[in-house]
Amino acid sequence: MGKNNAGQCNPPADLENVVQVCCGTSHTAALTADGQVVCWGDNNYYQCDVPERFAQKNPGVVHVAGSYDTVSIITSDGCVVCWGNNDAGQCNPPADLTNVVSIYVGYHIAAVTTDGRVVCWGDNEYGQCNVPSDLLPVVSVHCSDYRTYAITSDGMVTYWGFGQSSLRSYSDKQLLSSGLSPAGRGSLALAHKESINHYNCLLGCSVLAQKINRQQFGVT
């Protein structure tokens, strides 16, 4: 449902057993239970041209993410593969990047490894790929166009990039008093426990990112 200018709302008729879906500007990507990646919609940047080895059944893909005109996947051995628009190098993950457990895609891409390390690449006009050296282990990341947000292992929400000359962090108490939505508060509560729901954490980061951006630009 929604805008269908490039057929992004028309999945293949034989598509089944889908376990994950992500959307870009005008394309859609799906991951099936057997690890196959299927894309449809706008293909101006070849974002729907899934590499042959990942378009087949049982290729070892465990996660798919996408945004704008780029698609990224995590393979079963913790590596990242990207395709589509590469105008800012967002399809060129570091060659030595391994053990990735989660990823967020924008004009830049942020990945989290098994040991909580964050690795970013792609557009870095505002330092959004300059991961702070003193960043604590991270459990979840979110990217806006010019910032990277993270939930750290101690339940803090941190961001870097546009508008900041240094790391900014928000405690659970600060977020609760700032009027963050219940979804955001729930995500941070989960972060204080050690059983993290990845998608709820991303939702909390997304809510916080929107709030910070509104404050930064004076939008209510």
Domains identified in the chain and CATH numbers: 18-170 (2.130.10.30)
pLDDT at 34: 93
End-to-end CA distance of the chain: 29
Q: What does the alpha-carbon distance between residue 31 and residue 63 come to, in Å, rounded to a whole number? A: 7
Query: DSSP readout, the chain?
Result: ----TTSTT---TT---EEEEEE-SSEEEEEETTS-EEEEE--TTSTT---HHHHSSS--EEEEEEETTEEEEEETTS-EEEEE--TTSTT---TT---EEEEEESSEEEEEETTS-EEEEE--TTSTT---TTPPPEEEEEE-SSEEEEEETTS-EEEEETT-SS-EEE-HHHHHHTT--HHHHHHHHHHHSS---HHHHHHHHHHHHHHHHHHHHT--
Q: How far is CA 94 from CA 25, 111, 120, 174, in A?
A: 25, 11, 9, 35
Smallest CA-to-CA distance from 105 within 78, 138, 76, 82 is with 82
Residue with tokens 């010019």: 146
Supply 94's token pair.
Answer: 């570091």
Quote the CA–CA distance of 192 and 120 in Å, as a whole number: 24
The whole-number pLDDT of residue 162 equals 87
Cα separation, 177 vs 170, whole angstroms: 11
Q: Enter the tokens of residue 205.
A: 């980061």
Tokens of 214: 């509104």
Find the angle CA(112)-CA(116)-CA(117) to the nearest 5 degrees.
Answer: 65
pLDDT of res. 2 = 86
Going residue by residue through the chain (220 aa), what tens digit of pLDDT does each one get?
788 999 999 999 999 999 999 999 999 999 999 999 999 999 999 999 999 999 988 889 999 999 999 999 999 999 999 999 999 999 999 999 999 999 999 999 999 999 999 999 999 999 999 999 999 999 999 998 899 999 998 888 888 998 764 445 554 444 444 444 333 333 333 333 322 333 344 455 555 555 555 555 454 4
* Strand duo 108-113 + 118-122: pairing: antiparallel
